[in-house]
Structure 1
Amino acid sequence: MLFSSGPVVPAGMDHVYRHWHIAPAVKVGDFLICSGVLGQHPDGTIPEDPATQFTLAFENLERVLAATGAVLAHVVDLITFHTDLQGDLDAFTTVKDQFIREPYPAWTAVGVAQLGGGSAVMPRVEMKATAYLVDAR
């Protein structure tokens, strides 16, 4: 059953499930609750350029959504965590507007001291999303 409850582990993200014991997303009824995604390449490296990180974060979120047939238009709630909220907000919003179209989801942006990732380059953003899957069928 395509939209039954349980973990969602897109191809290439099984290491997250096995190593970190985190599902990239979990289906619960008609909703997909996504874990935080970083702006990293598939090999886990994080680019230094903030705009590239932001673009990769949205592309990685798209990969998680696609595993259930969903797209960014199905996102109803977006929470973003920023290590330099004031400094990066304009650049992040510019990238976000390339990916997120009307009707816009609820969005909360939070400034934080540090994000995970284990990379030599500090992640500047982590995004967590909830998507409504009924329209994805």
Structure 2
Amino acid sequence: MIDYPAAPDTPRSHLPFSPCTRVGDLIFVSGQASVDATGQIISDSFEGEMRRSIENLRKVLETAGSDLAHVVQTRNYVRDASDLAQFNAIYPDYFREPYPARTTITNCLTEALRYEIECIAVVKAT
């Protein structure tokens, strides 16, 4: 069975996709960016956008029955390669060793966003 968990405070996009999809014990989270609950982009410094994006990811995961500790893979999109050092410095604030599998792509976002993250996670054991 496929489920599409969402709560009123789950960040949503105006684009046609779900914040996450849950299949069994796997959770697939769509790209989370620096947006508010209505999907409006909140421009900020790279650090501000990265932290807001990961906090949005956390909200989506909690709604689906998981958390950051149960993330098995992340895909990260960094607009400017010059922000990679800061990205690598902030990342351990949210993900601990042994780190999830990770892919990071640079020079790929529009001017509207500095950072975006998506992930695959497992449901927390109850």
**TM-score under structure 1 normalisation?**
0.80
Distance 1:40 1:95, change over 3 A: farther
Matching residue within 19, 24, 30 for 1:24: 19
Residue 9 of structure 1: aligned partner: 6
- How far apart in 2 are the matches of 1:15 and 1:36? 10
SS at match of 2:56: helix
Residue 118 of structure 1: aligned partner: none
Q: Aligned Cα RMSD in Å? A: 2.0
What are the Cα deviations for residues 26-71 of structure 1, in whole angstroms up to 9, with x where unaligned? 0011100000000233452323311100110110000000102211
Q: When the two structures are aligned, how many residues end up with a matched partner? A: 125
**Is 1:101 aligned to residue 91 of structure 2?**
no
Residue 76 of structure 2: aligned partner: 80
- How far apart in 2 are the matches of 1:87 and 1:24? 29
Distance 1:65 1:114, change over 3 A: same
- Give the gaps of 5 or more residues in structure 1: 116-120
Matching residue within 47, 55, 60 for 1:51: 47
- Give the gaps of 5 or more residues in structure 2: none
Post-superposition offset of 1:14: 7.2
Post-superposition offset of 1:10: 2.9
Post-superposition offset of 1:5: 2.6
Distance 1:136 1:57, change over 3 A: farther
Post-superposition offset of 1:77: 0.5
Using the aligned pairs only, state the percent identity.
27
Distance 1:108 1:22, change over 3 A: same
- How far apart in 2 are the matches of 1:65 and 1:41? 16
**TM-score under structure 2 normalisation?**
0.87
Distance 1:136 1:40, change over 3 A: farther
Answer yes or no: is the 8 Å Cα contact 1:39–1:56 preserved in 2: yes
